[in-house]
Amino acid sequence: MNDFDLKAADWDKNPMVWERSKAIANEIINLIPLTKEMRALEFGAGTGITSFLLKDRLKEITLMDSSREMVRVINEKIDSSKAKNLKAICFNLENEEFKDERFDLIFTQMVLHHVNDIDGIIRVFYQLLNKGSYLAIADLYKEDGSFHGDGFTGHNGFNMDPLSDILRKNGFSDISHKPCFVIDREISETESKQFEVFIMVAKKE
């Protein structure tokens, strides 16, 4: 089991996770012209909170995560809610080629900083989107590494200009970004810190 497998059962018990997902879902609604004809992909869906918040505004959402336990929790929630337009798949998009379908929207929150090859995953997103479709990324602004602490091997957040350049290089346009949430986190027994989350939206022409 990986770290996210171990966290899956209790993930939805954290009020901050809900508050963050609500803030991000609201920004997606405000920034992207969602319709009931759109098929969406949530990459790194976790327990799928954001997708459940958006499900009534979209035709279908595929919730993708590489954690089997997260996907198990999603499926339990889909069964209990009887949501007919949500489907969960356990899939590692970083290492495997996804050929099943194309989407009108891809969204992801607090996942990109865990991805080693940012350029590569943005290229995959572009390939999976239909013409005229949207990408929404919510993640941490650049920070000093204290969010995850010692031993973390991912990215310590992002600066907006370099990330925008990567999107532009891979064919995206109409790129915009804004702050959307603040995380209060204890980084030691005596110190807490605030970390700001952005949302970036881009379009595949």
Residues 157, 143 contacting (CB under 8 angstroms):
yes
CATH number of the domain within which 60 lies: 3.40.50.150
Q: Which of 179, 183, 158 has its CA nearest to residue 20?
A: 183
Token output for 29: 């609604």
Torsional class of 189: left (φ above 0), alpha (ψ -120 to 50), beta (otherwise):
alpha
Residues 156, 142 contacting (CB under 8 angstroms):
yes
pLDDT one digit per residue (tens) for the chain, 205 residues: 567 666 677 878 999 999 999 999 999 999 999 999 999 999 999 999 999 999 999 999 999 999 999 999 999 999 999 999 999 999 999 999 998 799 999 999 999 999 999 999 999 999 999 999 999 999 999 999 999 988 899 999 999 999 999 999 999 999 999 999 999 998 888 899 999 999 999 999 8
**Enclosing domain of residue 21:** 3-204
Q: Which of 18, 36, 19, 17 has its CA nearest to residue 105?
A: 36
What local confidence, expressed as pLDDT, does residue 1 receive?
A: 53
Q: How many separate domains does the chain show?
A: 1
Give the span between the Cα atoms of 153 and 128, in whole angstroms.
27
